[in-house]
Structure 1
């Protein structure tokens, strides 16, 4: 019986994907498992890697909607493990990650999600990003994305993904924020718990398919606002998302629309720096590239 299925969507990045697969197989755990590589709009070419006893590596095509959400769902539906973990094709698991999460699931068998903290690697620096608490509530996620909790760190019980929690939302524009959406949904249903050690390496050097897709960011964030009306119950949380929409719209050149969102955000949350930055971008006082470059030096994103 397979204990853990690792779902790894990929699109034309064979070398990075191979490193990710190797990082799973190097975990040295005693449980059985599989790596399900989901090839999205590209040929199925499983890398030639040494596979330890009790594990298999297999490749499938994404048979659902094009993009990350559909590819994750293809992998979830093909998975045979009791637990399902995610790994993006440009990230790697660090030693001890799998065993640490298995121990947490043993301690908290009813958890909706078990994650870990991460290390951000921009090619020059490695910055550790932890999460404020080992247990996160729905309100915590409304108030803050808690970005130390990355999609490549998440693990679920497969029965939950196929049941109450449900699959990844394939309606999300360009699949942006699909991990945040499932954390919002999961935290509304039960416990989200974190092994608060940096056990995932996340590569941030401009290789992301989302990098600079400002119009898509804005569209997806508005979708999330409409999907999760609980944001409106906390003005500061609502203002935070509105400020992100404003920043994305300004960065996409939609200056008038951006200002409307920025003022709305500041009414709900006067301390929202992103809203002020959106106004500055809309008035051409600063560029989004300059701001993004600065925040990424600190291992953060916009």
Structure 2
């Protein structure tokens, strides 16, 4: 299979990521998609072996472009994603391929991860990135609409399913949720995915990353935009999953109301709470958020 690693100024981490991919017997090639790094990222990657290809791209600052370039350049029918600052656990690809290849209707599989919150933290001291979900089971579009439990560095996917869904969105209103936007489209196209509730990678959750440049409020707005695109592109999905989409909108607007309140913007907090209630009139959390925004200080 092809392993796609987007990278930007990742000299500190890239070797460990590549080596974790090359340890897997199922890895046929590693494609490092360098988003115009100014450090030694490409040079380090090239020294990791003949199986490693480096695509030197002009700097854009959006990992969607790099991942898309990698998928388009892939030689194999199955593609795995790995961020340049994450590492896989041994046996990951075998575990997921067993599930993926068992059923041609499965478009991709994903797993849980260990969360590394400091540079030298040992695995045994790490928390899980996602809470318990009840093991490996086919997931429905409703579940994905309500909660994105897909860690991109854990994804092993059929390349054809990614291509048919249109790859990662590079639009500004998909920033920070470009992966979620794609998973929604893959499933809306009829593909299924399986979440394996086992930690098969170490996810770096310290220092800085691309997502740190996107505010919580902007991320919420982009989730809403992803839902709107889903409805526009797949009208039948919009009809059959209307209640779930409205529920997610209520959850996101309530989150935005809380964020605005914490920022001291009570007007925006009220506005977001009202929008949540327009989607879900009996949503208690939205009423609580509205009440908190109305309280005089």
State if a TM-score over 0.5 links the two structures.
yes
Moved over 6 A (4+): 277-285
Q: Is 1:221 aligned to residue 219 of structure 2?
A: no
**TM-score relative to the length of structure 2:** 0.79
Displacement of 1:205 in angstroms is 1.7
Displacement of 1:225 in angstroms is 3.1
Tell me which of 41, 54, 57 is aligned to 1:62: 57
Equivalence for 2:144: 141
Q: Is 1:270 aligned to residue 278 of structure 2?
A: no
- Tell which deviates more after alignment, 39-48 or 186-195: 39-48
Q: Is 1:121 aligned to residue 116 of structure 2?
A: yes
Displacement of 1:244 in angstroms is 3.4
Equivalence for 1:208: 209
| Cα pair distance change 1:32/1:241, threshold 3 Å | same
Equivalence for 2:10: 13
Give the Cα–Cα distance (whole angstroms) in 2 for the partners of residues 75 and 19 of structure 1: 19
Q: Which has the higher helix share?
A: 2
Equivalence for 1:241: 252
Please say which structure displays the higher CA radius of gyration: 2
Equivalence for 1:299: none
Equivalence for 1:175: 175
Displacement of 1:193 in angstroms is 1.0
Equivalence for 1:150: 151
Displacement of 1:260 in angstroms is 0.9
- Tell which deviates more after alignment, 62-71 or 194-203: 62-71
SS of residue in 1 equivalent to 2:219: helix
Displacement of 1:110 in angstroms is 2.5
Displacement of 1:232 in angstroms is 4.5
Displacement of 1:270 in angstroms is 2.1
SS of residue in 1 equivalent to 2:212: coil
- Tell which deviates more after alignment, 172-181 or 135-144: 172-181
SS of residue in 2 equivalent to 1:107: coil
Say whether the 8 Å CA contact 1:8–1:38 is kept in structure 2: yes
| Cα pair distance change 1:117/1:225, threshold 3 Å | same
| Cα pair distance change 1:112/1:172, threshold 3 Å | farther
Displacement of 1:279 in angstroms is 8.2
| Cα pair distance change 1:60/1:48, threshold 3 Å | closer
Displacement of 1:117 in angstroms is 1.6
| Cα pair distance change 1:184/1:131, threshold 3 Å | farther
| Cα pair distance change 1:281/1:197, threshold 3 Å | farther
Q: CA RMSD in A?
A: 3.0
| Cα pair distance change 1:218/1:238, threshold 3 Å | closer
| Cα pair distance change 1:237/1:218, threshold 3 Å | closer
Give the Cα–Cα distance (whole angstroms) in 1 for the partners of residues 74 and 290 of structure 2: 42
Q: Which runs of 5+ in 2 are unaligned?
A: 232-237
Displacement of 1:105 in angstroms is 1.7
State the Cα deviation string for residues 3-47 of structure 1 (Å, max 9, x = none). Answer: x111111111211122211111122x2x35111111112254343
Where in structure 2 are the equivalents of 1:41-60 lying within 5 Å? Answer: 41-43=36-38, 44-47=42-45, 50-51=48-49, 56-60=51-55
